Amino acid sequence: MNRRANPFRHDRTVGHNLVPTISLTSLQVGLQNKRVAQHSIGTDKWLDRLGRTLWDNQYGELGNLTWKGSRPCFAIQERGKSLQELQSVVRNNPDQMNEYLSKLPGREHRALLKMLQQDHSDVYFLTVICTVKRADEAALSSFKREARKLERVIRNRFDNAFCIMFPEADLVRAGDITASLLPVPQWKDEFQSNQQVFKLHYHGIFCAKGLDRKRVEQLIQTTPTGRRSKSYSGSNQVRALPIDYVETEDGKKPDVFGVAGYANKCHYRPTCKQRPFEGYPIWAKLMDQIGNTPSLTIIVGTNGKYR
């Protein structure tokens, strides 16, 4: 086949050194994708088929995955479900609320309880795009560096900020990301248009008394001297929305727990509908690593009384 005629030649099913234990021909890989693609994206049958294919391929690097039935189970996903269940109806029952919160690490437990005490007018749903990296095994190391950098910026730029930020990684094609998303548009020169990459970012809840959402965004996007940040001044790279702005699928206004649950969503979106298994193994590996790396969760302002 003419390589120039293959629009997906840069897509990679697996990352560096992440290969099936069993030997697969290109025909077998094609059949695997076809079996998954025959189901509608996101349905139970689609997810079950993805999971069974992952299991059948016997990836040695994924031997420690936790499974529920025919699907891998990620800690970040379970945390999101628990938080979603902590909607306002549950919150009105202190005993039940504490039972759910006790499942979370202590720092997250304290941060969410503290956030509940804040005036909603000072609370924002904050999203920060950190970077775009190759879909390979180096992604976790990149995420750790980005977590430390973003935490430093929040601590240095806000005198009295209080936040809890959760990590997320989307698997996308480099060509589907706008170059201006990051401060230096030339970042796209590193990738082919159809190459799969991880968009590493944070969702979370941010509270800063007396600051409107535009000011919150501006402080992250600029340096203390007022110059554009080399890390976060891209177009729509930082977004702060009033917490009441975000609605659930049933149209209800969420509370702190609902927004935190949304921030922990763990949804796989194939970069190619005809080849949905492309990238799933390396995505599953990173999701498992994220869920088992508590230091990736950024928590600022939990020590002492919030003023």
Tens digits of per-residue pLDDT, 239-291?
999 886 555 555 555 578 878 888 888 889 999 888 999 889 999 999 999 99
| List of residues 6+ apart from 162 with CB closer than 8 A | 111, 114, 115, 118, 206, 207, 208, 300, 301, 302, 306
Residue 183 included in any domain: yes
Q: Is 195 helix (H, G, I), strand (E, B) or coil?
A: coil
Q: Is the residue at 125 inside a domain?
A: yes
Expressed as residue numbers, the domain containing 237 is 75-300
Residue 43: CB partners within 8 Å, gap ≥ 6?
Answer: none
The pLDDT > 70 percentage for the chain reads: 85
In a domain, 295, yes or no: yes
- Per-residue pLDDT at 171 exceeds 80: yes
- 63 assigned to some structural domain: no
- Whether 266 is covered by a domain: the verdict is yes
* Alpha-helix residue ranges (DSSP H) falling in the chain: 26-37, 44-57, 75-85, 88-91, 94-101, 106-116, 139-157, 213-221, 256-263, 280-291
- Inside any domain, residue 5: no
151-to-148, 161, 182, 200 alpha-carbon distances in Å: 5, 11, 18, 15
Q: Which residue has the tokens 């698997």?
A: 171
- Report d(CA 65, CA 77) in Å as an integer: 13
Q: Flag whether 19 is in a domain.
A: no
Which tokens hold the place of 303?
């020590």
Report the domain count for the chain: 1
Residue 209 is assigned to a structural domain of this protein: yes
Other C-beta atoms within 10 Å of 29: how many?
17
Average pLDDT over every residue of 183-205:
93
Q: What per-residue confidence (pLDDT) applies to 254?
A: 59
pLDDT tens figures, 34-74: 999 999 999 999 999 999 999 998 888 888 899 998 999 99
- With contact defined as beta carbons under 8 Å apart, do 195 and 11 qualify? yes
